[in-house]
Structure 1
Amino acid sequence: MKITDEAALRALYGEKLGRAVRKEQTTLDSHCRAFIAASPFMMMSTFGPQGIDVTPRGDHPGFVEVEDEATLLIPDRPGNKRLDSLTNLLENPQIGLIFMIPTVRETFRVRGTAEIIVDDALNARMGIKGRPALAVIRVTVSVAYIHCAKALMRSRLWEPDAWPDARPLPTMSEIMRDHAQDHDKPVEPEEEMLARYRKALY
């Protein structure tokens, strides 16, 4: 059976639980700010002409700044120049964020709208190692809330005894060779690739 309306969904799952609705915040209180300040990693979702994109963003804990009670600042660093998220935001300002903290089973979710800011003083302030941010994504928060631990408990993401003993995939260089069909190019050793990445982080 294909589910096609909310009534059918509710018949299957039941009504929303009261606290799950009441926990939503429209401003960033001390708990929200503490989670953001401790988070070195988040996933950012945008929507554009090609569809939905989700991209990882990571840096030192607190790399996303709270500008005020309803505004976040995300520094944009050098990357692969695809600019999927940024070009999506030019078409559609809607954005979704999920923040994560190692060892913390809960996540922090944000939904809002975003704009791309280029300002020399702001870029410099949000820079690192003497290198300014290329741009800053300013997010106006519409809804924010802590998400429960069930997903991370099921996945055992932060439990070392559940981690694989070795990488369960080919190296990134091998995958890139096959996906880009660069079969005439040699596979870059993993350590060389990581060293190259480290030079280009900022």
Structure 2
Amino acid sequence: MFGAPGEASLLKERDHIDASYRALIEASPFLALATCGPHGMDCSPRGDPRGLVRVRDEKTIILPDRRGNNRLDSLRNVVHNPQLALLFLIPGLGETVRVNGRAVISADPALLAEYEMDGKLPKVALVITVDAVYFQCSRAVLRAELWNPARHADPSTLPTPGRILAEASASRIDAARYDRELAGRIKDSLY
């Protein structure tokens, strides 16, 4: 039904980060982090300026854990199951980079100091041992026209975060107020 993978699909996978994969990883400002723990799966976005993830050596990458919603789903999962997957996106490029590996959580002050942004340090970082790295062909990104501004959604046609929270909380959260204050709250707590 599906057929065998082509030779290139198998040859592109490495068990370490070579110079080409390093260049792609270091060019990415955004990734999706997938983890699994006793309460299920989690896939969380991560973003920073270019160089979001730093390559320490061919088997090790570092991902700072920036401020988010404090649910800590990914970190909690890593405590129970160190296996994870990363999917790196690079604006303007169709290919994505996938990394599968195992992580430990580090609160080492010297390590965290390397990731200071706007005078603030991440609380922890994931030190990831690379098991596999490979690029994914561009078909999905091309089909989605992800980088085509003409295909971007019109925000006015979609529910706002405030509306979603008002519906989920039976109106305990005031939608208009939440949306009005959201931009300032994000700006003040970006790092």
TM tier relative to shorter chain: over 0.9
| Aligned: 1:132 with 2:130 | no
TM-score normalised per structure 2? 0.94
Quick one: distance in 2 between partners of 1:165 and 1:118?
Answer: 40
**Unmatched 5+ residue regions in structure 2?**
none
Q: Give the letter aligned to residue 116 of structure 1.
A: I
CA distance, structure 2, for counterparts of residue 184 and residue 191 of structure 1: 12
CA RMSD between the two structures: 1.5
In the aligned structure 2, how far is the partner of 1:154 from the partner of 1:98?
A: 17
Which 4+ runs in 1 deviate beyond 6 A? none
Name the structure 2 match of 1:201.
190
What is the alpha-carbon distance in structure 2 between the residues aligned to residue 201 and residue 174 of structure 1? 22
Moved more, 142-151 or 153-162: 153-162
Residue of structure 2 equivalent to 1:39: 28
Deviation at 1:173, TM superposition (A): 1.2
**Contact 2:30 / 2:88 at 8 angstroms: preserved in 1?**
yes
One-letter amino acid of the counterpart of residue 141, structure 1: V
Distance 2:23 2:184 in 1: 33
Q: Among all aligned residue pairs of Structure 1 and Structure 2, give the percentage whose two residues are the same amino acid.
A: 39
Does the Cα contact within 8 Å between 1:126 and 1:132 map onto a contact in 2?
yes
1:156 aligns with 2:145: yes
Other-structure match for 1:93: 82
Structure showing greater radius of gyration is: 1
Residue ranges of structure 1 left out of the alignment (5+ in a row): 1-11
Match of 1:13 in 2: 2
- TM-score scaled by length of structure 1: 0.89
1:65 aligns with 2:54: yes
Q: Distance in 1 between matches of 2:58 and 2:155?
A: 43
Amino acid at match of 2:168: H
Alignment-mate amino acid for residue 184 of structure 2: A
Pairs within 5 Å for 1:69-148: 69-148=58-137
* Count of residue pairs brought into register by the alignment: 191
